[in-house]
Amino acid sequence: MNRMKVIVGLIALIVSCIAVQNVTAEQKYNPHSGQWETVNPGSELQYNPHSGQWGYSAPDSSPQYNPHENKWDMAPNNSEQKYNPHENKWETTTPNSELQYNPHEGNWQHVPEGQSPEYNPHSGKWEYPK
């Protein structure tokens, strides 16, 4: 009985450790813009017909209207607008995002919980994955 509790406890510990690991960002080339983008694994190149731009975003993304900025952002379907008082703008972001400071670039951005800025060697900038 005690051995079973230890095994179950170890399994729970392993699963929780896997769940909290940060996902490493990737650099993907955007042939339409000629830029390398810092993106989350699984991001796909998608076209936003309202802005006329191609960019990488989550597979379930679609154009989302941001009425505060009067523009269309490519974002996951459950996205919402959140105000960024440091940059004085509204951002289309996921519900679990939080306002974080990027010390390398000196700016603030709403990003999913637990993400850190990643270095983009192609642009020489530190970016949060899209």
pTM of the model: 0.74
Nearest to 127 by CA among 5, 107, 77, 20: 107
Q: Report the sign of the C-alpha dihedral through residues 29, 61, 20, 91, in that order.
A: positive
- Phi first, then psi, for residue 4 (nearest 5°) are -65, -40
What pLDDT shows up at residue 99?
96
What pLDDT shows up at residue 24?
81
Mean pLDDT per 10-residue segment, the chain (130 residues): 59 44 80 96 96 95 96 94 97 94 96 91 93
What pLDDT shows up at residue 9?
54
What pLDDT shows up at residue 130?
85
Range list of β-strands (E), the chain = 26-30, 35-39, 44-48, 53-57, 61-66, 71-76, 80-84, 89-93, 97-102, 107-112, 118-120, 125-127
